[in-house]
Amino acid sequence: MRNGYEKWGRIVLLIASLGLATLWGIWDGFSPGQEQPRLPRVRKRCQVCHRAETIDWMQSRHARAWVSETFTQATNNRTRTECLHCHAPDRVLVTGFGKEPTLRTELQDHGVDCVGCHEDANEAHHGTLGTKPDEHAVVKNDRFGTVEMCATCHAKFGTVDEFKQTKWAAESPRACVTCHMPEVKRPIAVDKPVRTAHAHTFKGADPETFQKGVRVEATVSGDNLIVKLTSAEVGHNFPTGADLVVAIVDVRLISNGQESLKHQTLLANDAATGGADTRLKPGEVREITIPLQGKKGEAVIRVLHKYLRTLPDEKATVLFEMRKPVD
């Protein structure tokens, strides 16, 4: 019986050791006693030192660029090869800013990753600070984080051309970063001093970013509800990108607990199919008039965003919602 217990004890110890080894592969480089977020092992093991940036990136659409449901559907399960290289790019510093990157063959499910943007052909890492760590070579690159760099992938569907028509184009070569990678105060690596850095969440079509850039107001005038959109701080059309991407101004009137009226306005680019481009332009003020037909109640006004126009409203991102009494 004793030998049996010893045998099972060795098995339990082996399983525990394997479990710890697995956790060490995930959490390698973290300080004892610190809460350990579950981080993926990215190319070049960037997550070991750059934890905050990795956690940011995990929340971003860059991280999901290859695996998202909308990308899979839009590319017919990744068979539209002209779309693939920007969703799992190899090092853009090798092909050059403004030139379409090549599709990498490893870890494609990590989408737009650290190495894709930061590493050059000599495995040096580029940034704007020029610090000199022992772990790897660093190149201070003044072109890093510029509109030119972002244009490598984001010029394809007109976003950069839209931006160049705005006042912000002349004000800052890093205007994209100003909104989509806002400044934060934190160490840029483990055990480094706190300094000004940039968030790596790459937020875009999310409620916080939308509501900073677009004002939505609603008033009742006679028998009409007027919804006014003002693009005050957006450096491109809303929505921007491929013509698959759309937004909807969704208005519903609730009377006695029931929906008594529904009105939707599509913001989309249908120019390629002979239609109109109804997207909200930078600086534009647009009023949408909804006839109330004598109905009273409460208007629910939402702005929905879809990366694929065929998605049902239930799967859209709700960028804005307000309620307005209609007496």
Residue ranges per structural domain of the chain: 43-198, 207-326
> Is residue 114 within a helix (H) or strand (E), and if so which, with residue range?
helix 114-118
DSSP 8-state assignment for residue 171: H
The answer to whether the CB of 177 falls within 8 A of the CB of 128 is no
Predicted local distance difference test score (pLDDT) of residue 37: 60
Spatial separation of the C-alpha atoms in residues 236 and 146, rounded to whole Å: 16
Neighbours of 81 (CB within 10 A): 9
The answer to whether 292 touches 324, Cβ cutoff 8 Å, is no
Which residues, given as ranges, of the chain have pLDDT below 50?
1-34
pLDDT tens for 113-172 read: 999 999 999 999 999 988 888 889 999 999 999 999 999 999 999 999 999 999 999 999
How open is the CA angle 250-252-254, to the nearest 5 degrees? 160
Distance CA 173, CA 148 (A): 8
pLDDT, position 36: 54
Please say whether the beta carbons of 226 and 265 come within 8 A.
Answer: no
pLDDT for the residue 243: 95
pLDDT 10s digits, 213-248: 999 999 999 999 999 999 999 999 999 999 999 999
How far apart are alpha carbons 97 and 144 in whole angstroms? Answer: 9
- C-alpha–C-alpha distance, residues 119 and 137, integer Å: 10
Largest Cα–Cα separation, the chain: 90
Size of the chain in residues:
327
Q: How far apart are CA 194 and CA 59, in angstroms?
A: 22
Strand order in the sheet with 214-221: 214-221, 224-231, 285-291
Identify the three-state secondary structure at position 198.
strand
Cβ count within 10 A of residue 303: 26
Residue 119: CB atoms within 10 Å: 24
Tell me if residue 247 falls in helix, strand or coil. strand
- In CATH terms, the fold of domain 207-326 is Immunoglobulin-like (2.60.40)
Label the pairing between strands 285-291 and 224-231.
antiparallel
For residue 310, the one-letter residue type is: T
| 3 state SS of 129 | coil
Asked if 61 and 68 touch (Cβ cutoff 8 Å), the reply is: yes
